[in-house]
Amino acid sequence: SQQGEEDPQALSIQEGENATMNCSYKTSINNLQWYRQNSGRGLVHLILIRSNEREKHSGRLRVTLDTSKKSSSLLITASRAADTASYFCATDRSGSGSRLTFGEGTQLTVNP
């Protein structure tokens, strides 16, 4: 069964606004990764945060990880219409042999 839960399931914002998506998980992890998927397409790797890291930045993306709460957040700043996509978190659980468990995903719509 899926371990990750993401909220919100859907998010609609205006261009220029910030978008925040959250992910929760249940077991110990080696790392947590965020991916983006455009409709009907493959996944694009956005950012990986290790279990001993608390925050990571990449361009307009900011990811936080709170292992005590078993949660992570993805912030997209100054959103653009091209950011419209589904965003998934995926956990690399301890002892899983690098098998990823994906969250349910957040469908982000950025209106121009």
Partner 1 sequence: GAVVSQHPSWVICKSGTSVKIECRSLDFQATTMFWYRQFPKQSLMLMATSNEGSKATYEQGVEKDKFLINHASLTLSTLTVTSAHPEDSSFYICSARDLLAGGTTSTDTQYFGPGTRLTVL
Question: Residue 24: is it exposed, middle or buried by C-beta count within 10 angstroms (0-12/13-18/19+)?
Answer: middle
Q: Does 35 bind partner 1 (CB under 8 A)?
A: yes
Contacts of 59 (CB under 8 A, 6+ apart): none
Q: Which is nearer to partner 1, 33 or 84 (CB)?
A: 33
**Would you say 58 and 47 are in contact if contact means Cβ atoms under 8 Å apart?**
yes
Question: Using the rule CB under 8 A, which residue among 12, 18, 45, 80 binds partner 1?
Answer: 45
Question: Using the rule CB under 8 A, which residue among 48, 64, 75, 77 binds partner 1?
Answer: 48
Q: Which residues bind partner 1 (CB under 8 A)?
A: 2, 4, 30-31, 33, 35, 40-45, 48, 50-52, 88, 90, 92, 97-105
